Amino acid sequence: MKIDKQTLDDLEFTTIQQWLMNYAISDSAKEKLQNLAPNSDRQKILGELNKVNELLSIRTEGETFPHIDFEELSEEIKLLPIKNSAIQLEGFMRIYSASLLVNSLLYFFDKREKEYPLLKQLISSAYYTKEIIDAIQLVFDKSGNVKDDASEALLTIRTQLKSVKKQINRNFDKEVRRLRKDNVLGDTSETFINERRVLTVLANHKRKISGAVVGSSKSGNYTYIEPQINVALNNEFELLLDDERKEIFKILQVLKAELLIHIELIKDYQKILVEFDFINAKTKLAIELDCCLPAISEELEIEIKNAYHPILLKNNKAQKKKTLPQQIEMNKFARMLVISGPNAGGKSITLKSIGILQLMLQSGLLVPVHPNSKMCLFQNILSDIGDNQSIENELSTYSYRLKRMNHFLQVANKKTLFLLDEFGTGSDPDLGGALAEVIFEALYNKKSYAVITTHYNNIKLKANQLRNAVNGSMLFNTETLEPRYEFSMGQPGSSFTFEVAKINGIPDELIAEAKNKLSTSKVKMDKLLSDLQKEKSYLNKLNKEHIEAQDIALEALNSYQSKKEQYENKLHTMRSNSEENQKYINAGKKLISYIDKYNTNTKKRAINDSLLEEVRKYLAVEKSKIVAAKQKAKEKKSGVVSSKKSASKKKLSSTKKEEIHGRNKIKVGSRVKLLATKQIGVVEEMKGDNLIVSFGFARMKVKLEKLMLVE
């Protein structure tokens, strides 16, 4: 893919690069991001996109991932093989930190190859080892200083240094106490010169002090003297410091030799960490702009939902302003998109949104769109946006644009995306419009893709006539006379020239006079477009209200069905209870009648025998009924009746499976039945589990689970 610098500038891709560079840590990663550019190599782009997407998943799913913070190892890698070269102490600590970080990455991705295969592949050349870390830890402490016991010689030297330093301080403090009594010292009795403690002596008393004069104050009032008692000790201290430096050099040369064994691994550390820094910067941008990886189609088609222009989105976030998303579709049947509408209505932003998102995607960056969006890859992306002039070649804006358009005609092919803002402007409207129409047809005949903004009616008409071109418009609120900054596919838009003039304070009489100067056909054309947009807005509003009303009605119907079922269950329970209660009432009445007949006024036992016999018969009959009922229940339980119930269940289960299987076959145009009301309709639209179904003249939004396929 040949990179067109003007397109990168037109679409402000350099702003995206600068954001990315601010997120990076290392200079090497920043350089890679500065050179980031779109390309057309599908495998390379998909690889870059998926690496960022894997790291985004790690970041957003709460995984404990190592913090990418390091310093580059370029200098250390260069010095390690050179004999007697000196690596700074900080250089060894950089290697130490890099080894720790890469070990952490290796540990994280261990057994995660299936989840994050591309990131795992990035560290495949490295291996886990503690040899580098252990070797450096033997020499350095946690603060990055060489340890006292890094060697026996160093321990001896530092022990002597501490002893001499202690004696120097003891002697100096003794001298200060003695001389203060003699009032020969300044207010600040001591200072440091060349890292040695020296006395601050009043100049007129300097000859009274035994020692080496090392300087005086700018005013000449004070003389700095090293006490004689410390001169030899300070010299010894300097010699010991030199011994320490030489011993540390030896120790570090030994350490360098140990690390040289791992030079290839240390080189891998540098590559791996720079690459992770590079990917991490892209991921940080994705998180800030809420980006994702859309589906990448092999066909040339764009279907972006809830798409945002990244720069506009970030700026509006900073100002706490709302940003309206765009919905745009392009494919081989609608590859030339002509956008019209009012000035300052968002035409250029819509065009630039498509362009910058395409540049980002083909540069391996995730984009701020809905995850269900679909994008593709173009061989070339070329733009003609803004008021460009070529001062060097003394070209006007229009001449410059014509030269650029000539270049476009030469390179145009079916894998090129053109972004042409205010197409054809800059010359006589009629002549410029005619030339623009011819160029439009030429690009169309090259089978190119293009997004074009224009006010020319002939371009709008041409887009309407050509089979694979389509009009779109920026919506305008005809009631408030303000742009809505929303894009709508399917019809051209009016420029709303006079409406925009009115809201900007142009007097009505001047607007009326301007209308009189236009040809009747132009006024009618603009009015027709304006009226069409008003009608479309009104119909969209009605359709939205209708769908909302259908949702409310369906919700009410579902609520009614649920309540009806509850009431029927309750009624059934009440009837069962009533029948049970009635049985007990009848039994009670029968027993009361027996009680009433029982004679207690006689001593003759036989007088109640017939009554008792009647009671026994009654009880026997009732008992037999209870036994029979229990037997019937027992038979049901043991399977006599349950087999019928099982068969019924199987039938119901089979019916349910058929319903689900049928539901999977539902598509646009299918005849379906609403389970709740048994109404039959036709599917008009499908968005996941949400369907728009027409039932005669009514259109309803219905969940898939509430429908079944009608064969």
| Other Cβ atoms within 10 Å of 664 Cβ, number | 9
pLDDT at residue 517 in the model:
64
The answer to whether residue 389 scores a pLDDT higher than 70 is no
What's the rounded mean pLDDT across residues 355-359?
96
* Domain presence at residue 603: no
* Domain presence at residue 634: no
Shared-domain flag, residues 689 and 658:
yes
State the CATH number of the domain containing residue 706: 2.30.30.30
pLDDT at residue 711 in the model:
64
What's the rounded mean pLDDT across residues 613-618?
78
Judge contact between 694 and 681, C-beta under 8 A: yes
Shared-domain flag, residues 451 and 321:
yes
What's the rounded mean pLDDT across residues 459-466?
88
* Domain presence at residue 67: yes
pLDDT at residue 392 in the model:
44
pLDDT at residue 194 in the model:
85
Q: Phi and psi dihedrals of 469, rounded to 5?
A: -115, 160
The answer to whether residue 592 scores a pLDDT higher than 90 is no
What's the rounded mean pLDDT across residues 485-494?
72
Q: How far is CA 624 from each of CA 388, 587, 601, 617, 627, rounded to the nearest angstrom? A: 106, 15, 34, 11, 5
Burial annotation 40-55 (CB, 10 A radius, 16+ → b, else e) = eeeeebbebbbbbbbb
Residue 387 pLDDT class (50, 70, 90 cuts): low
Residue 408 pLDDT class (50, 70, 90 cuts): very high
Residue 381 pLDDT class (50, 70, 90 cuts): very high
Q: Phi and psi dihedrals of 509, rounded to 5?
A: -65, -35
The answer to whether residue 187 scores a pLDDT higher than 60 is yes
What's the rounded mean pLDDT across residues 492-519?
67
The full length of the chain comes to 711
Which domain-ending residue is among 464, 497, 530? 497
Closest CA to 68 of 78, 77, 55: 55
Residue 530 pLDDT class (50, 70, 90 cuts): low
Q: Please report, rounded to a whole number, the percentage of residues in the chain having pLDDT higher than 90.
A: 48
Q: Is pLDDT larger for residue 123 or for residue 209?
A: 123
Shared-domain flag, residues 45 and 12:
yes
Shared-domain flag, residues 132 and 262:
yes
Residue 8 pLDDT class (50, 70, 90 cuts): very high
CA angle 154, 158, 160 (to 5 degrees): 120
Burial annotation 331-342 (CB, 10 A radius, 16+ → b, else e) = beebbbbbbbbb
If DSSP codes are grouped into helix, strand and coil, which group holds residue 124? coil
* Domain presence at residue 550: no
Over the Cα atoms of the chain, what is R_g? 45
Which domain-ending residue is among 497, 523, 540? 497
Q: Is pLDDT larger for residue 67 or for residue 495?
A: 67
Residue 482 pLDDT class (50, 70, 90 cuts): low
Tokens for 87, please give them: 């690596």
Shared-domain flag, residues 430 and 486:
yes
Q: Which residues pair with 292 in a beta bridge?
A: 367
The answer to whether residue 124 scores a pLDDT higher than 70 is yes
Judge contact between 432 and 401, C-beta under 8 A: no
Which of 223-237, 509-523, 525-539 shows the highest mean pLDDT?
223-237
The answer to whether residue 169 scores a pLDDT higher than 70 is yes
Shared-domain flag, residues 21 and 96:
yes
pLDDT at residue 483 in the model:
59
pLDDT digits (tens, 9 = 90+) for 686-711: 888 888 888 765 677 888 888 888 86
Q: How far apart are CA 672 and CA 681, in angstroms?
A: 5
Shared-domain flag, residues 104 and 158:
no
pLDDT at residue 393 in the model:
42
pLDDT at residue 21 in the model:
97
Residue 652 pLDDT class (50, 70, 90 cuts): very low
The H or E element spanning position 91 is helix 89-109
If DSSP codes are grouped into helix, strand and coil, which group holds residue 381? strand
Q: How many CA atoms lie within 13 A of 191 on its CB side?
A: 16
Range of the domain at 688: 653-711
Q: How far is CA 259 from each of CA 134, 142, 269, 473, rounded to the nearest angstrom? A: 11, 19, 13, 66
pLDDT digits (tens, 9 = 90+) for 309-354: 999 999 999 999 998 899 999 999 999 999 987 776 678 899 999 9
Q: How far apart are CA 141 and CA 145, in angstroms?
A: 6
Q: How far apart are CA 565 and CA 362, in angstroms?
A: 57
The answer to whether residue 99 scores a pLDDT higher than 60 is yes
Shared-domain flag, residues 348 and 427:
yes
Global pTM value: 0.70
* Domain presence at residue 313: yes
Query: Per residue, what are the HEC states of 614-659?
Result: HHHHHHHHHHHHHHHHHHHHHHHHHCCCHHHHHHHHHHHHHHHHHH
Phi-psi region of 211 (alpha: psi -120 to 50; beta: other; left: phi over 0): left
Judge contact between 238 and 165, C-beta under 8 A: no
State the CATH number of the domain containing residue 402: 3.40.50.300
Tokens for 614, please give them: 């009647």
* Domain presence at residue 629: no
Residue 394 pLDDT class (50, 70, 90 cuts): very low
* Domain presence at residue 591: no
Shared-domain flag, residues 160 and 144:
no
Q: How far apart are CA 325 and CA 307, in angstroms?
A: 5
Judge contact between 176 and 198, C-beta under 8 A: no
Shared-domain flag, residues 348 and 438:
yes
pLDDT digits (tens, 9 = 90+) for 278-307: 999 999 999 999 999 999 999 999 999 999
Shared-domain flag, residues 339 and 477:
yes
Q: How far is CA 548 from the centre of its chain?
A: 31
For the chain, give the mean pLDDT.
84
pLDDT digits (tens, 9 = 90+) for 23-62: 999 999 999 999 999 999 999 999 999 999 999 999 998 8
Q: Please report, rounded to a whole number, the percentage of residues in the chain having pLDDT higher than 70.
A: 84
Shared-domain flag, residues 19 and 94:
yes
The count of domains in the chain is 4
Which domain-ending residue is among 438, 468, 497? 497
Tokens for 369, please give them: 């769109």
* Domain presence at residue 325: yes
Q: How far is CA 201 from the centre of its chain?
A: 69
